[in-house]
Amino acid sequence: MNGAERICATLEALGLRTVFGLPGTQNVVLYDALRRSSLRSVVASDEGAAAFMATGYARAAGGVGVLTTIPGPGFVYALAGVVEARHDSVPLLWLTLRQPDDGQAFPLQRIDQLAMATPVVKRCMQVEAPEQLADSLIAGYYEALSGEPGPVLVQIAAHLLVRPAPAAADDVTSSAQGWVTPAQLIERLRSARRPVFFVGQGAQGAAAGLRQLAGRWRAPVLFTSSGRGVIPDADAFAFVQDFSFGIGLALPALIDRSDLVLALGCKFTHNGSAAGRLRLPSEKLVRIDASPDVLAANYPASLALCARIEDVMPAIQQAVTEPSQWSDGELADLRARFAQEREEPIAHEPTMATAVSGLPVARLFAAMSSAFGRDVIYTADAGLHQALTRRYAEVVSPRGLLCPCDFQSMGFGLPGAIGAALARPRATVVACIGDGALALSLGELLTAVREAVDLVVVVFNDGAYGLIRRQQLLTFGHPAGTDLHCLDYSALAAAVGCSYFPLDADPAEVMQAVMRTEGVRLVEVVLGEPLSLGKQGAKAVLREKLARSIPDGALQVLKRALRR
């Protein structure tokens, strides 16, 4: 085999099935090998979208996503998606090429790729000899999965694609060892009277065991956004509190009453801890995670154990032999308080417009939940619609909510949904995105249609970068640079060859019609600006005028007088 063929054969041997990227002059040999392999090659509109697709694929499948880019511009285009994967602990195998050094100044498309990638990937690997190729791919694959998962870059000297390349010297199977349960963990579990689980993305692979254990132990389960779906939102022991709009009062009350908080696969990052406002007393906190760096960060624990949650779950199940002392009344009261907080209207929340004018957005998500059944995956982009999705979408299955979490790249929602749909073709995948985010990734509608992906795209159309415009109005009373050109989504759907559904009737009826249709379906939801936002904007204008017209000393006196 030549190097390109050896790459494909090694990926196949690792059990990988799909490669995302774009062909270019430098990698035509690789794409010809892909054509002749069993691997599915998915070509995106640009490498950034390809990276998001690989990330969505990996998160939905619970495995490794494969990305390939040409060197130079293709490499640079992919960076935002790769950084997102790094922040969100997503395993990617990123294959790129190194241009040959011809000794001339100002070489074509030549940049220091390793220097650019080193801060944003787990590891950079450089392949300079044919006998290194297969072993490097295998090592990169397991590095992407080990500890805290993340992207690994394998940079291959371009000439190796056409050189003979031998098979790997090592077996492709992992040599991971078993994990021994410390006695301290068993003791803490057995002595707990009011335990609480706090689950993150690292617990997704142990979802079945955790759901069984939560019911048997009678232990409430809290979630980071990427931990949603480990047990269904509707489960009696699921206590859902999204931090997009604060911590609320019910969650601190639950933590106060507990005597053990068992955090499984949680990084407790900025978005996973409400910017650090979440309070978790160290004497109550026990953390288990596959990464020692994660365990050492942000929230000190009285006991921290480095292990994969899948490996430790059987030992936890064996250790728990008696139900907790949470009473039915306590749990029912606390869960009702969680539900009440989620149902309270958000300040200045937009409502649906057109024929369903004034209906809350929650009604749309309830209609989607009813129509789409028990195997649904929601993806969202960066923006106000993500906060609405995280708040109102009912997540019913593991890996059922895929959002950019701690880098918040705009442009993830649609390509991430395509990747998820390819990873789990039997699921109903729903991309919830804003009109600004769709403008950034319009070309991926063509990709979805070309790849015959079964996908629902719900675009929230408010004619603006809504979250930023909202911040501007509340702070200054005026928007700046956030208004968008009004797009004819019906014409867009016709142009790319997908179905179009305006939300111009009862949301339940529209969503049932969407569910009866196959292929790519574009649903337009027009949002209206809440009256309260305009009033707050007027107050912001007045504040700004007063601040400019009144001397500082007099303004402070006026503020003190108003407070009295």
Task: Could you list the beta-strand ranges (E) of 44-182.
Answer: 65-68, 92-98, 123-127, 151-157
Are 140 and 30 part of one and the same domain? yes
Please report the pLDDT score of residue 395 as a whole number.
96
Are 428 and 482 part of one and the same domain? yes
The string of pLDDT tens digits covering residues 515-530 is: 999 999 999 999 987 7
Residue 150 lies in a domain: yes
pLDDT value at 66 more than 90: yes
Are 508 and 376 part of one and the same domain? yes
Residue 110 lies in a domain: yes
C-alpha torsion 405→407→412→416, nearest 10:
-50
Copy the structure tokens of residue 379: 């993806």
Contact, 39 vs 438, CB < 8 A?
no
Residue 207 lies in a domain: yes
Q: Which of 319, 343, 367 is at the close of a domain?
A: 343
Residues of the chain with pLDDT > 90: what percent? 75
Angle at 549 between CA 544 and CA 552, to 5 degrees: 90
Are 338 and 364 part of one and the same domain? no
Residue 448 lies in a domain: yes
Rounded CA-CA distance 230/238 in Å is 9
Task: Provide CB contacts within 8 A for 450, sequence distance 6+.
Answer: none
Are 113 and 188 part of one and the same domain? no
Pairing of strands 151-157, 520-528: unpaired
- Orientation of helix 466-475 relative to helix 384-392, angle to 10°: 110
pLDDT-based confidence at 532, cuts 50/70/90?
low
Rounded CA-CA distance 438/432 in Å is 10
The DSSP symbol for 426 reads T
Rounded CA-CA distance 404/443 in Å is 20
Contact, 227 vs 266, CB < 8 A?
yes
- Residues 68-96 have a mean pLDDT of 97
- Residue 138, helix vs strand vs coil: helix
Residue 557 lies in a domain: no
The string of pLDDT tens digits covering residues 113-150 is: 999 999 999 999 999 999 999 999 999 999 999 999 99
Residue with more model confidence, 383 or 66: 66
Are 154 and 9 part of one and the same domain? yes
Helix H or strand E segment including 263:
strand 260-264
Longest dimension (CA), the chain: 83
Domain membership of residue 190 as a residue range:
184-343
Copy the structure tokens of residue 388: 């609405």
Residue 530 lies in a domain: yes
pLDDT-based confidence at 553, cuts 50/70/90?
low
* CATH number of the domain encompassing residue 214: 3.40.50.1220
Q: Which of 109, 127, 162 is at the close of a domain?
A: 162
Are 452 and 432 part of one and the same domain? yes
Copy the structure tokens of residue 2: 């030549």
Contact, 221 vs 325, CB < 8 A?
no
- Orientation of helix 466-475 relative to helix 531-549, angle to 10°: 40
- Residues 107-116 have a mean pLDDT of 88
- Residues 391-403 have a mean pLDDT of 95
- Residue 500, helix vs strand vs coil: strand
Are 68 and 195 part of one and the same domain? no
Q: Work out how many domains the chain is built from and give that number.
A: 3
Are 14 and 63 part of one and the same domain? yes
Are 237 and 330 part of one and the same domain? yes
Are 152 and 274 part of one and the same domain? no
The Cα-based distances of 250 to 326, 337, 339 in angstroms read 16, 6, 9
pLDDT-based confidence at 542, cuts 50/70/90?
low
- Residue 444, helix vs strand vs coil: helix
Evaluate the CA torsion angle 243, 198, 401, 377 in order and state its sign: negative
C-alpha torsion 336→341→342→345, nearest 10:
140
Are 283 and 397 part of one and the same domain? no
pLDDT value at 174 more than 70: no
Please report the pLDDT score of residue 179 as a whole number.
54
pLDDT-based confidence at 354, cuts 50/70/90?
confident
pLDDT value at 2 more than 70: yes
Copy the structure tokens of residue 409: 């790249």
Please report the pLDDT score of residue 535 as a whole number.
57
* CATH number of the domain encompassing residue 460: 3.40.50.970
Copy the structure tokens of residue 32: 């010809």
Rounded CA-CA distance 544/290 in Å is 50
Q: Which of 304, 323, 343 is at the close of a domain?
A: 343
- Residues 557-561 have a mean pLDDT of 62
Count of CB atoms situated within 10 Å of the CB of 328: 9
Residue 547 lies in a domain: no
Residue 179 lies in a domain: no
C-alpha torsion 56→59→65→68, nearest 10:
30
Taking the whole predicted model, whether its pTM rises above 0.75 is answered as: yes
- Mean confidence (pLDDT) of the chain: 91
